[in-house]
Amino acid sequence: MRRSEFEYHLQLVTDPEDDSSPNATGGAGDARLPEEQLLSWAFGEIGTHVGQIAPSLETGQRV
Amino acid sequence: MDQDQQLVRLIADGDRDAFSALYQRHHRSVFAFALHMSGDRQAAEDVMQETFTGLMQSAKTYDAERAPVLAFLLGIARNQVLRRLRYEHRHLTLVDAAIDSLPGSESTAQITIRNEIVETVRKSVLSLPTHYREVVVLCELQEMSYEEAARILACPVGTVRSRLNRARKMLLEKLRLIRGEDAPEAPPNSERCYA
């Protein structure tokens, strides 16, 4: 897991009013809403993980 | 004619090696699409099998002018998924099919929150109406272009764009419910898997 990336998103979620958050300071350079960034991050996590799941060998042999 | 199209042409002539080669090239994409859409591993495996079986039967009718081979395969997979969803009358559920806990260096609380967020999004995607879910799966989870998704779904690019926009708004509404909530306590056993 990319720890710093996750911590950044986590901060956006858990401290939405924190003025020192990366979003507030513009440190991330991303003008999207925190939820939108979080959604994109989650899409990446899900897509990556499911992409690593292989169907069973039995199914492959049946095909 | 690209390599995929050459393989389909050979498959239409009964070439088993060509079928095996095409399967190796695309079975993971078909499986991932079916898994994203159904949330159920066994259903995804069945859809993958039915898709390639369908390819053997329909290879002669494949029209390279209309769509790339992967789009053709995902179109078959989509029909199989939709047929299952209609037959089984299930729009979402399948809550047991959860994302694994991925290894990382965060604390237990961070892992728990991260998994909570990913699980919320995953279940939210599964809860979307089918025509919204499939654009999210194709464009966001499988990172296809609007044009590729439009070919698979047999609809205009503008429809893909508008459905995706609407789907993201629906998902954002669900995500906003997370904000401000305290971190949930770690479950006794956070090891979960597609089963």
Q: Where is pLDDT greater, at B171 or A16?
A: B171
Would the CB atoms of B113 and A14 count as touching at under 8 Å?
yes
A10–B44 CB contact, under 8 Å: no
Cα A34 from Cα A23, distance rounded (Å): 8
With tokens 């998103």, the residue in question is: A9
C-alpha distances out from residue A55 to A60, B29, B30, Å: 7, 11, 10
Question: Scanning every residue of chain B, which has its alpha carbon at the shortest distance from the alpha carbon of A40?
Answer: B140
What is the per-residue pLDDT for A27?
45
Q: How far apart are CA B31 and CA A45, in angstroms?
A: 17
Q: Is residue A19 predicted with pLDDT exceeding 50?
A: no
User: Chain A contacts of B31, Cβ < 8 Å?
Assistant: 53-55
B93-132 residues touching A, CB cutoff 8 A = 99-100, 102-106, 110, 113-114, 117-118, 120-122, 125
The pLDDT tens digits for A42-62 are: 999 998 888 888 888 888 777
pTM for this prediction: 0.74
Q: Which of B117, B27, B109, B107 is nearest to B74 (CA)?
A: B27
DSSP character string of B2-69? -HHHHHHHHHHTT-HHHHHHHHHHHHHHHHHHHHHHH--HHHHHHHHHHHHHHHHHHGGG--TTT--H
Q: Residue B159 above 80 pLDDT?
A: yes
Q: What is the ipTM of this complex?
A: 0.72
Closest Cα in chain A to B97? A50
Q: Which residues of B touch A61 (CB under 8 A)?
A: none
Q: Is the pLDDT of residue B33 over 70?
A: yes
Is the pLDDT confidence value at B122 over 70? yes
Amino acid at A43: F
What chain A residue is nearest to B24 in terms of C-alpha separation? A60
Task: Look at the block and give the residue holding tokens 């994409």.
Answer: B29
Query: Is the model's pLDDT at B175 over the cut of 60?
Result: yes
Pair of tokens at residue B94: 């399948």
- A36 contacts B113? CB cut-off 8 A: no
Report the percentage of chain B scoring pLDDT > 70. Answer: 81
Query: Above 60 in pLDDT, residue B88?
Result: yes
